[in-house]
Amino acid sequence: MDDRTKIDDFLERASVISDTLDKDEAFVLISQEIDSCDNRFLHEYITSLNQIRNEKVLDWIEINVHRTTNIGLNWGHLAASSLFNWRRAEKWLTLGRPLSLIALDALIFCTTVDERLNQSPWMRKINPRLLDNPQPDEVAKRLNEFLLGDNVHRTRTTIGKIIDNLFDVRA
**Per-residue pLDDT reduced to its tens digit, 39-93:** 999 999 999 999 999 999 999 999 999 999 999 999 999 999 999 999 999 999 9
Same domain, 139 and 86: yes
Q: What is the mean pLDDT of residues 5-16?
A: 97
Q: How far apart are CA 28 and CA 15, in angstroms?
A: 14
Split into its structural domains, the chain has a count of 2
Distance of CA 102 to the CA centre of its chain: 6
Q: How far apart are CA 7 and CA 129, in angstroms?
A: 30
The pTM of the full predicted model, rounded to 2 decimals, is 0.94
* Residue-number span of the structural domain to which 25 is assigned: 1-52
Same domain, 149 and 84: yes
Query: Do 44 and 11 meet the contact criterion of CB atoms below 8 Å apart?
Result: yes
pLDDT value for 122: 85
Q: What is the mean pLDDT of residues 118-135?
A: 89
Q: Is 59 a domain residue? A: no
Q: Which of 116, 30, 109 is nearest to 74 (CA)?
A: 109
